[in-house]
A and B are shown apart, each in its own frame.
Chain A
Amino acid sequence: MAEFFQMIASYFEFRFVQYAFIVGILIALCSSLLGVTLVLKRFSFIGDGLSHMAFGAMAVAAVVGLTDNMIISMPVTIGAAILLLRSSQNSRIKGDAAVAMLSVGALAMGYLLMNLFPTSSNVSADVCTTLFGSVSILTLSTIEVWLCIGLSIATVIIFVLFYNKIFAVTFDENFARATGVKATLYNLLIAIITAVIIVLAMNLVGSLLISALIIFPALSAMRVFKSFKSVTISSAIISVFAAASGLLLSIVRGTPVGPTIVAVDIVVFFAFLLVGFIISRARKA
């Protein structure tokens, strides 16, 4: 056991491991915050759709030759988020179809572009990295790290400041609107934050697995906790725990980062499912 800790300690001497942990934990924290709202608003699928948009945008950025692809992927994803949330307000089915269309379309176009204009000799490895985020978190530059830290902190502050409003538009949008809450504005805010989180989280788990990072902690927390506040706080804790232990495991065992974190999330989900089941049985007995 002592050896194990010594090994971990030795890893932490590397700058890139420290960066990966700081960024990973912050991204996990942010992505879990809005998870509860997105799950409850029946928007779980939007995370998936947006991440594919972000993938398409990143492919364009790579082809154009931008080193920092967030310059393109961030505004494109924010635009798509606003568009999608708006269209699904008007009618359910249209929104659903729009997400499917945009996300699959962007995914296909992204892959096509990367193949037509390869920027490196190994296209499939590049694509795999973007989709599953296998190593990119370990190769972050200092600027990217600071950008991630800045955006994460901004997200958390905005979430805390608008927490009560976000609760109100999630629980009952019509009531909120009728009594004078600017629901459209807060929906827009939710869309923008979601997009920012997705672009950030692409570094951690890649674009295919982002939805897992957003919804698993929220779903786990909802099995056991009963109030919005406790669900939000516990899903943040679960998410940070899963990200930290997933990162640690992947460094020690050499497994890909994204899938390892998601695997921990899945294990936690089943644990909470069991606990929730036991609690409800105990209450009935």
Chain B
Amino acid sequence: MPLLSFENISIGYDNHSIVENLTFNIEKGDYLTILGENGAGKSTLLKTMLGLIKPLSGKIVFDANVRKTDIGYLPQQTVVQRDFPASVWEIVISGCLGKSGFRPFYTKEEKALAEANIKKLGLEELKNRCYRELSGGQQQRVLLARALCSSDKILVLDEPVTGLDPKVTIQLYDIIDSLNKEGITIIMISHDLHALKHANKVLHLGHEIFFGKKEDYLKSQSYQVFMDKGGEQ
């Protein structure tokens, strides 16, 4: 049984479909990179996966052991967040809220989990710092720690390296890779071909849809076209 299976899914907004009849599976421990040009439907697919928008048709089936809220999410940063007064601690622990229902305050376990994830991402010294004063790479690590608080099974990342310098980009990819090696399933959107380095599967959205192993993708037509168009930075 795959962790997540997309069955004949069509996605889009207001009955205007962007991608039609997409079928693919994600297995436990996969590292899937979703590639495609702007407007190809990457973000829409992600939002559908997260339940933020409904698929136009078809369905997403979750493994029996996975609940819909077991997906950790690293969204793209919003304008609001850039001048938001919040400490690193406040943001990381807010990842625990999805499972707390109507309980108003955090439990000891949740605090310990947030503490552990802060440590895991090397943020101990920044714990009480203000989020808006951190560098881009540090901010992404904070949001990654928050995502880990919400789930240790599946992590969905929406263009996590946008706006980061090359050195920090590589660091972040290494962190994501090490999380994958710990057994977390990674689903990542990117338009940066470096994102392929650690991936084992690729979904390419566009005129021709490709889904399969990375090795096959590198030999495929979609990859050649993508390369020629300068999809790489």
Contacts and interface: CB of A to CB of B under 8 A. Distances in A.
Given A172-B81, A175-B73, A164 B105 contact: yes
Interface residues on B, range: 35 or more
Given A41-B80, A168-B94, A179 B151 contact: yes
Contacts of B89: 227
A226 B133 contact: yes
A165 B75 CA distance: 18
Interface of A: 36, 40-42, 160-165, 167-168, 170-172, 174-181, 222, 225-231
B104 interface: yes
27 contacts: A160-B104, A162-B104, A164-B106, A168-B94, A168-B97, A171-B81, A171-B84, A172-B75, A172-B81, A174-B47, A174-B50, A175-B73, A176-B94, A177-B50, A177-B51, A177-B52, A178-B71, A180-B98, A225-B85, A226-B85, A227-B128, A228-B85, A228-B86, A228-B87, A228-B90, A229-B90, A230-B85
A227 B71 CA distance: 27
A126 B58 CA distance: 61
A222 B131 CA distance: 13
Nearest to A224: B85
Main secondary structure of the interface of A (DSSP, over half): helix
B150 interface: yes
Contact of A175 (B100, B129, B146): B146
A105 to B, nearest CB: 29
Given A171-B91, A179-B72, A179-B151, A227 B130 contact: yes
Contacts of A170: 80
A177 B80 CA distance: 16
A171 B86 contact: yes
B65 interface: no
A42 B104 contact: no
A174 B72 contact: no
B95 interface: yes
Main secondary structure of the interface of B (DSSP, over half): mixed
Contacts of B181: none
A227 B99 contact: no
B87 A176 contact: no
A178 B73 contact: yes
Contacts of B90: 167, 227-229
A167 B50 contact: no
A174 B78 CA distance: 10
A175 B99 contact: no
Contacts of B128: 227
Residue of A167, A171, A225, A229 with most partner-chain B CB within 10 A = A171
A262 to B, nearest CB: 23
A40 B86 CA distance: 11
Contacts of A222: 85
A86 to B, nearest CB: 16
Which 6 residue pairs across A and B have the least CB separation, nearest first? Answer: A179-B98, A180-B69, A226-B130, A180-B98, A227-B87, A178-B50
A140 to B, nearest CB: 32
Contacts of B87: 226-229
Contact of A164 (B81, B104, B147): B104
A177 B150 CA distance: 12
Contacts of A179: 69, 71-73, 95, 97-98, 150-151
A217 to B, nearest CB: 13
Contacts of B75: 172, 174-175, 178
Interface string B52-90: 100000000000000011011101001011001111011
Nearest to B133: A226
A181 B52 CA distance: 12
Interface string B87-117: 1011100110111100011100000000000
B98 A181 contact: yes
Given A164-B106, A229-B90, A40 B97 contact: no
Interface in B179-222: none
A134 B39 CA distance: 55
A36 to B, nearest CB: 8
Nearest to B88: A227
A262 B133 CA distance: 31
B187 to A, nearest CB: 12
